[in-house]
Every structure is written in C-alpha cells, then in structure tokens.
Chains A and B, each alone.
Chain A
C-alpha cells in the first residue's frame, strides 16, 4: 500500500508569448522558487527533483535535465526526466508523487516548462520537414467525426473558446487576457482547420510550473492547506493501428476507469467537484467529458451547452482558463494538475469553485494517445456517496 502524498507548494510563472526577460534557467527557477516559497521550504529541504518537458526539439536543448540540475538546486541529489509528449506535465506530476508514495523520498520538487519562443513547435512536430499538418490539422478530422457521431451543434466549440478565455481573465498567470472575447469574435476569426477557428486554438507560450510534494508527516511544515493525491493513472496506445478509435481512444477510457476505481469514484460527474482537462482545441472539452466517462456518449456537448462546465456550473471545467489560454506545452499538463490542487486547497483566488473538495487534473499528448490523470482532494480519505 502506497503512503499518502500531498501537494504542499505551487509555483507558476506568468505565461507569455515570449519571456524575453528570463533565460531557460531563470524561467524554471521562477516557478520552482515560487513553489518552494508557497511550501515554506528551501532547496535544501528537497530530496529529489523531477523535471518534465515536451520534445527536446522544441528548444533544441538536448537532455536539459543535465544543464538545469544546478539551477534547480539538485547538486548531489537525484534528478529525473519525464517525457510523454503533450501529456508530460501530468505524467511528471505523477512520477513525482510516486517517489513520495513509494517511501523513497519525503519531499520532491517537480518542475515542467516550455520556452516555445526559442523554437517552433509546428516545425518540431513536423519532424523538421516542410508540409507538416500540425496538431490542429491532426485533430480537426477527429473533431468532425465527433460532431458527426454526436450531432453536436457548431456553436459548442465557440462556446468553450469563450468560456475558457473569460475564466482566464480571473487568472493573473494566464497568457491570453482577451477582454473582448465573444462568440461572434470566435466564429469570425480565421478558419485554421475546419471546424477550428483561430480563437478555438491554444496559444504558443513560454512558461514553467512547479510543485512541492511531500509525505504526510511533513505536511504540517507548510502553511497552506495540502491537496492530497488520492490516485493517478497513465495509459498509452499506438497512434495508428487498424481498429483505433481516435475520437474516444481506448487508452483514455482505461485511464479514467482505472483512476476512478482506485479513488473509489463511481459517479464522476457528481463526485468530482471540478476538473482541469487538457483542451488545446475547443471541441476537446465535450470529447474528453465523454472520453473520460464523465458524460455518456453523445452527451458531453450538452454539458457545455447547458453551462454545466462554466465556473458556476455543476461540473466546472478549466476555471483557470485552461490550455486555450496558456500553453507552455511541457508545463500545460502540470498546470492542469496544480490548478486542480489550487481548487481543493482553496487557493484558486478569483476562479475558485465554492466548496471544491475533489478535483481532477488531466492531460493528453501525441496523436491523442498518451493520457495522464490525477485526482486530488482537501481530505485524505474522503467518503464518496
């Protein structure tokens, strides 16, 4: 049986198109030092560091965990590197939690980042070749297939794009603060990959995110309430094989089912108070609500349509503004995990969901083939009814 692990410190940088005031070292340190401050610990208290980011080709720094070790106070300590494409931020959080749960380390600092401005993600994802179709071009046909299957009306995507940007206005760290966002603005923005408009797509951001995780006996050392890690799961499938369902990938279904079982959740929509889902393109909100068993097939878009996923809805999704508002790729999954923790710690500020007790953090990556999810709670052993 694993021993309990809690998030005791959270740190984020301001996300921006280009952080031209900070080196890569400075960027990761900004997030790490804020997480240490929040936990009221120092580098000296940290037993191990777990670093994650998306493919090295994004910045062209190969094996950055080596050059960043000193900057993260890891001299004489183990430093681990995690890499699972776009889901890496959440996978990294899980790897760090496992190091505490296993009993190997008491205090783990985990940091993720991307400095997208130093390279070009579409170039990197195209393998350095001309004619890349990019992430949006890959996902667009699957989104159209979701629309075909579910019969969802076209305004659902626009609605998610507006909701997440309005939430981002309450989050000081969010990259996009689009004060004039509206359904009209979204549908009139350029069509990038039918049905995705420019404003239904994530930005390209620089930024880093960090957490301090600690074992139960050290939780009281930190002043802010802990977010207990109740469970986590990761699943992977191949990008392409005969019989693959790209709209509702089996790995995503299995990941969610395993996680809910581990935590004791039988009715996710009712028993989870809020979720931070990895939604880089608007339509992935209803797709993951269904793909992760929160809504029945064909019903996810109705939750969006009815306002259930709004900040004041019964299942608020991406209250922080989500990936649609900030996308330092390697960190984006960790931001989902730490924003879930912010909600159950009561530290989410203006985008706090009243009384949030149980929250889901989620990320996916690659061709919707890597999944990583965790559930955190204000209670170590909550009762689900």
Chain B
C-alpha cells in the first residue's frame, strides 16, 4: 500500500511505500572488520599448544596462571617463554552459568555451560565452555576434562570441556605446522537507531525533492543538513526554524580520491568528492560524489545543479552525516554560470 506523507503538498510526487517508511526511520548499520592479532611470545605458544593438543600456563611469582600472561599481573614484571608449563587436561569447576539459548557467536549450537575451570596444576581459573548435555549435569566443584576439536586452527575454540575424568584421545598433530603468530578475528557490531526528528524531516524533504535546512534563531545562518542545533551559538533548533534551500550551488572544495582498498570498500577507480554551498545555505553539504565531470574541468567556485534521482531516495542516511546520500541524486551538472570568486568561499570549504 502507498500513501502520501502527511504535511506536505503535491501528493502526486509524494508517494512512498508505508513499509519502507518504517524501515527508513529505523536505521540498521552493520560495522565489522577482520582484525588481526599478533600473539607475541606467550599467547603464541599457548594457541599453538591448543592446536597441538596441550594446555600451557605461565609460572609467575609462585603461582601457575592459565591462560598464560606475558607479565606478572601483580607487579608488571616480565615473564618469558621459559616460564611456560603444561597444565590439565582435567580440572575443577569453580563457578558456572548455563547458556540455554546459544547465539551464532557461541561455541555450540545447543545449550551448554560457561564455567570457570581451575585446571590441574594451575592456581587460577580459565573461562571456557562445558558441553554438559543438561543444566542438571553442572555443579560447582565438579570435575571436567578437555576435549580437542577435530579441526583446530590455533584459537581458543580448539578445545572445550566435558564432565568427568575420561582422558581425551591423543589428537592428530601436524609436526610441520608453523607456530601461531597472527590470528584473524571478524569483529562486528550491528547498530539499530531511530532517525532523530530533524533528520527525519530532512529525509522526508528529500523524498519530495526538497532540501530542508534550519536557520539559526541567533545569527540567521542556514545549516544544511542541520544537526538539530546551532553548534556555534549553542542553541537547539526546532521545526519552526526549518527552511528550504535550492538544489543548485557552488563548489567550495574538492578532492580526487584514488580509492584505498579495505574491507567493505567497493570503489576501484578514482572519483571526485566535493563540498557544495547550496544557494540559500551558509554551511556546505560535504562528500558529494562526482563521476561525470573531468578532474581537469573541476574547480572551486564552479556552479552546479543537482539532478534528482527518480523514485526512492532512501539511502543509508544516519544521524551523523553532513552530506546528501548518493541515492538522492543522479548526478550534478555545471550550470554554465560564471564562477564565484574563491575568496568569497573561504569560510565555507568544509
């Protein structure tokens, strides 16, 4: 079903899908990166040990600490690889919690326990998973013993624990495997946030082909896009301060970007990013994407007209942006008007 957005004119232009509007105002963003970790002289042998079927700890100041550490946690004194000792494979549970509904990040798809396990020979506990079958099988003081996964990569997930004292079968070890020096971890966070009211009005405006800014009630300067407050004068701005600005403006700064490759980067060819001072505005819209104008023809002071994209203009506009989303415009075209003197744009280049 479609309907008009309340409060705006020209219903024939203002058509959006209801379900899409709900999505529009609830912004989802997935931030993730495959970080690496250099393991160093102690954690490296520990992870290598897990892969090769043994659990290592460090002997520090009369205590045996597992997982091992590079330094004495009490004094900060350095602890070298000569202090590594083997512990386990059995141990005692000193505390636990039952995970009834595992998530994709957990070591098992079925319910299991996270437990503090004091391995035989160690003086400290290690947090790890116990595949106990049921919560009833778990108790503080119970004995557990290690199990080695069949596909071991040199990570903490190479092992898990089970109740009892039955020793594990000796795992197959590749004697030629390199020690674990670097590990890789895809770390991510999924963020969902609602668009703030001023941002929502800005996006609603774009849907209708209007660019909405806000005029400061203090100095009269027009901010586009607005942050919902005038940062210079430290006052909030309200819907009464909303004003419409033009979709034509002046280039105040630009860069040709030769894209650096990184996780999630889809750009491969050079392109221009510019800031434009729209007519009627005092702040610039930044990060405008230019693909159709040659770099040698591009200059500060040049006049540009935005060509709106037909149809849906919902992009990943969040609450922090200071630009227009690329889905809003098809391209920007030179108007052919005389350039504006760059001297007049000095205070509008970002």
User: Using a CB–CB distance below 8 Å, which chain A residues touch chain B?
Assistant: 18-26, 29, 33, 43-44, 57, 59-60, 70-75, 115, 117-120, 122-124, 126-134, 137-138, 140-142, 144-145, 148-149, 190-194, 238-247, 367
B347 and A29 contact, CB distance less than 8 A: no
B173 at interface, CB cutoff 8 A: no
Q: Which residues between 183 and 241 of chain B lie within 8 Å of chain A, taking CB atoms?
A: 185, 187, 221-223, 231-232
B322 and A24 contact, CB distance less than 8 A: no
B104 at interface, CB cutoff 8 A: no
Chain B residues positioned under 8 Å from A117 (CB to CB): 36, 38
Specify which of B43, B256, B295, B350 is in contact with A246 (CB 8 Å cutoff): B350
Could you mark each residue 22-54 of chain B with 1 if its beta carbon is under 8 Å from any beta carbon of chain A, else 0? 000000010111011111111100000000000
B35 and A242 contact, CB distance less than 8 A: no
B342 at interface, CB cutoff 8 A: yes
Expressed in whole angstroms, the Cα–Cα distance for A124 and B189 within the complex equals 13
Chain A residues positioned under 8 Å from B37 (CB to CB): 23-24, 118
Known: A70-B76, A128-B31, A134-B257. A122 touches B38 (CB 8 A): no
Nearest A residue (CB) for B260: A122
Chain A residues positioned under 8 Å from B322 (CB to CB): 240
A133 and B221 contact, CB distance less than 8 A: no
* Least CB distance, A342 to chain B, in whole angstroms: 25
Nearest A residue (CB) for B326: A131
A25 and B70 contact, CB distance less than 8 A: yes
Chain A residues positioned under 8 Å from B70 (CB to CB): 23, 25-26, 29, 71
A137 and B255 contact, CB distance less than 8 A: yes
Chain A residues positioned under 8 Å from B349 (CB to CB): 141-142, 145, 246-247
A26-B70, A29-B71, A128-B32 known, 9 other contacts, Cβ within 8 Å: A26-B41, A120-B262, A126-B262, A132-B260, A134-B257, A193-B258, A243-B221, A244-B347, A247-B346
B231 and A238 contact, CB distance less than 8 A: yes
Chain B residues positioned under 8 Å from A133 (CB to CB): 255, 257, 273, 287
B260 and A242 contact, CB distance less than 8 A: no
A23 and B71 contact, CB distance less than 8 A: no
Nearest A residue (CB) for B274: A141
A131 and B289 contact, CB distance less than 8 A: yes
Chain A residues positioned under 8 Å from B31 (CB to CB): 57, 127-128
B168 at interface, CB cutoff 8 A: no
A242 and B33 contact, CB distance less than 8 A: no
B267 at interface, CB cutoff 8 A: yes
Chain B residues positioned under 8 Å from A72 (CB to CB): 76
Known: A23-B37, A128-B31. A71 touches B346 (CB 8 A): no
Expressed in whole angstroms, the Cα–Cα distance for A246 and B300 within the complex equals 15
Chain A residues positioned under 8 Å from B256 (CB to CB): 193-194
Chain A residues positioned under 8 Å from B77 (CB to CB): 43
Specify which of A26, A124, A193, A238 is in contact with B257 (CB 8 Å cutoff): A193
Nearest B residue (CB) for A248: B346
Nearest B residue (CB) for A124: B33
B250 at interface, CB cutoff 8 A: no
B289 and A242 contact, CB distance less than 8 A: no
B128 at interface, CB cutoff 8 A: no
Known: A128-B32, A242-B232, A242-B282. A123 touches B264 (CB 8 A): yes
B151 at interface, CB cutoff 8 A: no
B172 at interface, CB cutoff 8 A: no
B284 at interface, CB cutoff 8 A: yes
B36 and A118 contact, CB distance less than 8 A: yes
B36 and A25 contact, CB distance less than 8 A: no
Specify which of B29, B38, B260, B300 is in contact with A19 (CB 8 Å cutoff): B38
A60 and B185 contact, CB distance less than 8 A: yes
Q: Which residues between 39 and 89 of chain B lie within 8 Å of chain A, taking CB atoms?
A: 39-43, 69-71, 73-78
Chain B residues positioned under 8 Å from A246 (CB to CB): 349-350
Q: Which 9 A-B pairs have the closest CB atoms?
A: A73-B76, A23-B40, A141-B253, A242-B282, A123-B262, A60-B35, A43-B76, A128-B31, A70-B73
Expressed in whole angstroms, the Cα–Cα distance for A271 and B198 within the complex equals 50
B331 at interface, CB cutoff 8 A: no
Expressed in whole angstroms, the Cα–Cα distance for A132 and B263 within the complex equals 12
Expressed in whole angstroms, the Cα–Cα distance for A130 and B232 within the complex equals 31
* Least CB distance, B230 to chain A, in whole angstroms: 8
A148 and B347 contact, CB distance less than 8 A: no
Chain A residues positioned under 8 Å from B41 (CB to CB): 21, 23, 26
A241 and B283 contact, CB distance less than 8 A: yes
Chain A residues positioned under 8 Å from B185 (CB to CB): 60
Chain A residues positioned under 8 Å from B332 (CB to CB): none
Expressed in whole angstroms, the Cα–Cα distance for A22 and B37 within the complex equals 10
B40 and A26 contact, CB distance less than 8 A: yes
| 13 A–B contacts, CB within 8 A, in A order | A29-B78, A71-B70, A73-B76, A117-B36, A119-B36, A130-B265, A137-B273, A141-B300, A194-B295, A238-B231, A240-B284, A243-B221, A245-B347
Expressed in whole angstroms, the Cα–Cα distance for A134 and B232 within the complex equals 26
Nearest B residue (CB) for A369: B350
Expressed in whole angstroms, the Cα–Cα distance for A120 and B34 within the complex equals 9
* Least CB distance, B162 to chain A, in whole angstroms: 29
Q: Which residues between 246 and 277 of chain B lie within 8 Å of chain A, taking CB atoms?
A: 253-260, 262-267, 273, 275
B284 and A71 contact, CB distance less than 8 A: no
